[in-house]
A and B are shown apart, each in its own frame.
Chain A
Amino acid sequence: MKSVSQLRKRTALIFLIPVTIVLLSSALYPLISTLYLSLTDAELENFLDPNYVGFINYLENYEGMWYGVLADSLFWNSVRNTIVFSVFSVSLEVILGISFALIMLIENKLKWFVRAAVLIPWAIPTIVSARMFEWMLQDQFGIFNYILIGMGIIEQGKAWTTDPQTSMIVIIIIDAWKTSPFVAILVYAGLKALPNEVLEAGKVDGTNGITQFYYIIFPLILPAIAVAIVFRGLDALRVFDLIYLINAGSKDIMSMTVYARREMFEYSHFGFGAAASTMLTLIIGVIAVIFIQRTRLHKLDEME
């Protein structure tokens, strides 16, 4: 006779079959076929039946000139943009997120409103937040320029989103607006999990707020912050919609995803685009492994 636990194990494995099928077909199959396509000459005409060409989409020396993704300065430019975007937006989000979380802890009549307000940017689609900020920052009729002119800081409206010098800053700010709440909620949950004595301890000693935060609270919520950085960081590295929407035409601020997609769907260079997205996957994969190892996220399961 089979024991109950054996029976449960068997049922458990049966219940996992649909998920396994989905994961294999969603991750493994398209990943492998993308990998294969990156080694072919796939264009629009022969997309379903391309020829194997080796690594020439990555790098090729033809009559003394270098070709391929790795020789394309635009690609490296997009790598740089992606890293700049990720580092600055995630840093800004962590700073804002921690500040918001601390403000969310304040117990008074506004408490509910603060917690409600913080969720609003999170719920708004990226496309909508992009358009909202574009409108507020518009050069002729935007409220932002209107305020700045009113305060006498500038004399005439500036096109913040289309000017290559400021568009990256604008994109980072929109991203920070949209996702700081996520960091705030994680940190807030981390703070809530602390025993009340910890939060009270500093007050009795008469230390000021900042010292108390830095020496007592900060080390304790570091795990929550690390998790937020991992999730946000990996999300930021694959950024597409904001950059595509705010400045679709500009080569200056293109991210890696925008670069790869442009090769595929605007120029129909599917093989070349596949090579670019494989490079992106490799870069993100390496960063993800380092992140997960460092923060020991994979050990969380055993910690219970």
Chain B
Amino acid sequence: MLEIKDLHASVEGKEILKGINLVVKPGEVHAIMGPNGAGKSTLASVVAGKDEFEVTQGSVVLEGEDLADDAPEERAHKGVFLSFQYPVEIPGVTVTNFMKTAINESRKARGQEDMPANEMLKMIKEKAELLEIDRKFLSRSLNEGFSGGEKKRNEIFQMAMLEPKVAILDETDSGLDIDALRIVAGGVNKLRSKDNAVVVITHYQRLLDYIVPDFVHVLYDGKIVKSGDASLALELEEKGYDWIKQEMAL
């Protein structure tokens, strides 16, 4: 489904990703862990198409199609979704209006008509319930004055609405208390299917108790230095990243 091949990316001449290889198949959950500054968020941004980063080598391929020339919105239309570590506040645009605009823009790109208003409302209601989001919340300005937990819940709500093929969750667990974490993870699990895939970026094992990964990768200094199954995350939690460094003789 998603294939990242020898991906190198830099910002302002500084290389951050130094040859990443990752194959994500439909139905799978991959976790990417690693210390601060390893390049985890950069990887997420590059896949989503942020033009601040320059891809110097390698490729990101979705369902056999190279995304190199695609703008962020085109990647979204093709099924890439990024849950932001720091969702941006947009005063004056309500969550509902934002969602309507996003969905209809995607439909337009696919040559479909706008979603009928009643269908849209029904879908918003359903997905909001999935994430235990209050109706009043939907008429608030996007992310403005939201708590950390509300922001992350709102990200997963957007994921639910947009129904992506590949969702990258960038530190969706940061800033969440245990109840919010349970709701967010529960939402993600309900959205999983044999046709989509999830890439979870996190520092901690905690989230992976709820969203159980099929594969765990350790990203260090711009490269994936170790991959394994869910037990690797437990081992990392126990031994810390120094263990990897020593093992890899880095």
Q: Do A and B bind each other?
A: no
User: B residues bordering A, Cβ < 8 Å?
Assistant: none
